[in-house]
Homo-oligomer: A and B are copies of this chain.
Amino acid sequence: MKSTRARIAIDAMGGDHAPAEVVAGALRAREELDVDILLVGDPQQIQASLPPQANVAALRIVPAEGTIEMHEEPLTGLKRKPQASINVAMNLVRQQQADAVVSAGHSGAAMAAALLRLGRLSGIDRPAIAVVLPTLIAGKAVMILDVGANVDCRPKFLEQFALMGSVYSQYVLGVADPKVGLLNIGEEACKGNDLAIRTHQLLQDNPVIPFIGNAEGRDVLSGQFDVIVCDGFVGNVLLKFAEAVGSVVLQILREELPQGLHGKLGTTLLKPNLRRIKQRIDHAEHGGGLLLGVAGICIISHGSSQAPSIFNAIRLAKEAVDNRVLERIQASDPHTPQGTVSSDARGEE
């Protein structure tokens, strides 16, 4: 029988700061969020990472052997190490012992393990990695997908991303009337590269997708759009740039603010405000990417994740579980959207 609390399997061995920071983030989530935690990895190392006062009884440790290293080719690694933590974590979801996986390990391996062990949702050709970023409008977020799973896309992939994104926006982020945009280099339908022009047409013709038009680079964080679709190459470049810009700005503030006596005094007075600004710009806050389109909920966190990122990733997973995002996507029936039988609907794979 399925628990009503979201059960999150954590790849305790994945990431630059595993297992210590991963375990710390998981423990905090266990305390502050209404979730069950399954820590997947080497039991001895996990035990050693637990603080003395940890409530060990409330935790479940699921043993695994090894992890996929960053230099390993995902498929080879996953096959050579069937008991690797990411494989074991995905199996927990497959066997309905967990509802979601969070991993800060090798992201290609996490994606491949999800595809191999969970499979794709029906009607989805390619899963996408989605991130939710804050916008200029306080309290309003934008979901961007794909940010790295598919570097060469066909128009129908982006159409499916739009569908999944709008469902997520509506049911998880609670946007009553989500607005979908296509990342492009101009407002007009005729603008863009071949992929963008053909995708624009598909989105325009799909009555299920609340498409409002092209989003230029300057519109991404404007708050005008709730969902923005793009191929994984552009999306990844944009996301990494956006994350870095946070640090760039913080560094400029550090360099520029303390000049002169007034500057130094001003900076001292502003310390608490600067901390808040850092929080608002810092990428650790968004927790990670959501792998949308596989038959399970998977959060792919940064390799550099520390406890706060892991905590946010677990919250993201919990929200996706609680709001039954997979069922919603499946119910929206992307398999047979009207009017989309196009020349590129070849059945490949």
Give the B-binding residues of A (Cβ under 8 A). Answer: 136, 138, 148, 151-152, 183-185, 192-194, 196, 216-222, 230-234, 236-245, 248-249, 251-253, 255-257, 259-260, 262-263, 265-270, 272-273, 276-277, 280-281
Contacts and interface: CB of A to CB of B under 8 A. Distances in A.
Nearest to A259: B273
Given A216-B237, A220-B244, 20 more contacts: A151-B192, A151-B196, A152-B194, A183-B237, A193-B233, A217-B237, A217-B241, A218-B240, A219-B244, A221-B245, A221-B248, A252-B281, A256-B273, A256-B280, A259-B273, A259-B276, A260-B273, A262-B270, A266-B270, A269-B269
Given A193-B152, A233-B185, A256 B276 contact: yes
Contacts of A219: 244
A149 to B, nearest CB: 11
Contacts of A194: 151-152
Contacts of A269: 262-263, 265-266, 269
Contacts of A217: 236-244
A139 to B, nearest CB: 12
A242 B244 contact: no
A236 to B, nearest CB: 4
Contact of A280 (B136, B252, B263, B270): B252
A243 to B, nearest CB: 6
Nearest to A253: B277
Given A136-B251, A192-B151, A237-B234, A257 B270 contact: yes
A281 B216 contact: no
Output the residue of A219, A238, A251 with the most chain B CB within 10 A: A238
B249 A220 contact: no
16 contacts: A136-B248, A183-B237, A184-B237, A196-B233, A217-B241, A217-B244, A245-B249, A249-B249, A249-B281, A256-B273, A256-B276, A257-B277, A263-B273, A265-B269, A267-B270, A270-B270
Contacts of A148: 185
A148 B255 CA distance: 32
A270 B281 contact: no
Contacts of A268: 266
A163 to B, nearest CB: 22
Contacts of A248: 136, 221
Contacts of A263: 269-270, 272-273
A153 to B, nearest CB: 9
B241 A218 contact: yes
Given A151-B193, A281-B252, A240 B267 contact: no
Nearest to A278: B256
A245 B245 contact: yes
A194 to B, nearest CB: 6
A185 B151 contact: yes
Contacts of A136: 248, 251
Contact of A257 (B218, B221, B265, B273): B273
Nearest to A276: B256
